[in-house]
Structure 1
């Protein structure tokens, strides 16, 4: 999944600590089928509507694309 106009850190994967490849600030994270990834998001300066989505077009058609509002 990719978050536009923001960066995040992976806090956990399925309740377990993040993997070494998850270290640092990111804008994209690999989410496996049925996996839950907890992230801490840093929003800087941008306010308004943003989007998150999967880069796999078939997944975007299955609701893995959404808008969110930064207040």
Structure 2
């Protein structure tokens, strides 16, 4: 295994242990520091819809029913 592959493996392991909220905040700060506009965060409904449609829609029914229950509950 080359030095580059070892470093990438270590980076992946460290990145998996970082809290996703902290990682997102750090990425926004990094964009701001270099003078770029940070990309807009994807909302939960959009993220779940994309997850439902991934892999040929394998989990589509399960995820879309969860979404429907969640938003129906908020409307009532």
Question: When the two structures are superposed, what TM-score results if normalisation uses the length of structure 2?
Answer: 0.27
More RCO (CA 8 Å, sep 6+)? 1
Relative to total residues, which structure has the larger helix share, 1 or 2?
2
Relative to total residues, which structure has the larger strand share, 1 or 2?
1
Q: Which has the larger radius of gyration?
A: 2
Question: When the two structures are superposed, what TM-score results if normalisation uses the length of structure 1?
Answer: 0.28
